Structure 1
């Protein structure tokens, strides 16, 4: 099946609210049939987001501490618990009409995980899944979190993949509500890793795994 898909890459960290606006605009375009899928690739300014499963009980810092660290706090409509976004982390928001692929959210989430697993494989890092926890793991360390939402089979939200992230921020939460395991970042395993190279690999893996070519468009296209 031929699919009309586009990718928008942002080079500077965005506020979480700006990311939500971009997702909403992309959702409108996909809903209107202007595209089958729009992939947003970006970094966020530091933020904790709370999903539909809750997570405030897993926030270990008070409002004053968050202000000191410059970390925002948002409640969202994605699945999952509390998680962190920040510079040095690839955030992927695939706004895909799954009617053009497969109407199966478990399959879709597995594909998102596979994108990251295959990127890590390029760096000779063996990553995988844990049956109890969504996301991507290197041994017992979580390197990517996943949380999605879908309406009329059109997806929102996506994954956060730690590449060169400040892991001290994770100490202010129980990431995804998980207390027994820690987090990892790609630069723990690959010194001097090139962030933009990892973004490029991520785009390539999306094309392979979702069997679609993603034409690059400017951010202004999303906003029009």
Structure 2
């Protein structure tokens, strides 16, 4: 695959990062941005819906979610409903698959492998499943994948449960399935550092891209386009 930049963000609202992804896709398509970009981030609690829907898989009332301060956001990615929140490491690869000569199925498999390698480095043995995509520990799901491809450029991505509160998953049928969810902390029975998880995921992405990955700051990203001028709040 191509060279890539890694952009690490702190805890940032889902909608803000979604907007950033779409602008990066436009820049990648126009040639304004030559390299692929991988965003690493955590979000405040939010449920996101894929193209297959998902509101029917919310098992609590809208009033309850409002009381909890959790929004439900419709997206254009594949898949069904999922949750994002603190303790879950999310990666959004903005990748020109046409330039990489890679099909969607192979790319999804590569993202699953990134999660498997990250977990392996943390001490958790995980696997992929050709029928139910994502990453699994036994019969429990620990990582999800959901992408969208716009004229050959991918966005959305993967979500890995490092140390989140699993209570939020009990309020939905994750990915439209009646399935148990797990975390790296739960599997290991001890605290897992999000800093360590980020470091291991960066290493795993470095192995995925032929030219490796180089860390990028937000100022450097803004330097690609005077129209971008993006900052987190």
TM interval, short-chain normalised: over 0.9
RMSD: 1.4
State the partner residue of 1:162: 161
Once the two structures are superposed, what CA deviation does each residue of 1:58-105 show, in whole Å capped at 9, x if it has no partner? 011222111222211001000000000001111100000012212300
- Check conservation: 2:42, 2:90, Cα contact below 8 A: yes
TM-score if structure 1 supplies the norm length?
0.94
Q: Following superposition of structure 1 onto structure 2, how do residues 4-23 of structure 1 map, counting pairs within 5 Å?
A: 4-11=3-10, 13-23=11-21
Post-superposition shift, 1:195? 0.6
SS at match of 1:187: helix
Once the two structures are superposed, what CA deviation does each residue of 1:92-131 show, in whole Å capped at 9, x if it has no partner? 0000001221230000000000001111111332211223
1:136 is aligned to 2:135? yes
- Check conservation: 1:30, 1:38, Cα contact below 8 A: no
SS at match of 1:159: strand
State the partner residue of 2:147: 148
1:69 is aligned to 2:68? yes
CA distance in 2, matches of 1:209, 1:4: 10
Once the two structures are superposed, what CA deviation does each residue of 1:159-205 show, in whole Å capped at 9, x if it has no partner? 110111010000110000111x2001111123121111110110110
SS at match of 1:23: helix
Once the two structures are superposed, what CA deviation does each residue of 1:34-63 show, in whole Å capped at 9, x if it has no partner? 223110000011100110011111011222
CA distance in 2, matches of 1:218, 1:25: 16
SS at match of 1:133: coil
CA distance in 2, matches of 1:99, 1:132: 25
Q: Following superposition of structure 1 onto structure 2, how do residues 35-74 of structure 1 map, counting pairs within 5 Å?
A: 35-74=34-73
- Of the structure 1 ranges 204-213 and 51-60, higher mean CA displacement relative to structure 2 is found in 204-213
Within the candidate set 30, 33, 38, 1:32 is matched to: 30
- Check conservation: 2:4, 2:209, Cα contact below 8 A: no
- Check conservation: 1:103, 1:153, Cα contact below 8 A: no
CA distance in 2, matches of 1:205, 1:84: 23
Gaps of 5+ in 2: 223-227
CA distance in 1, matches of 2:170, 2:195: 26
Gaps of 5+ in 1: none
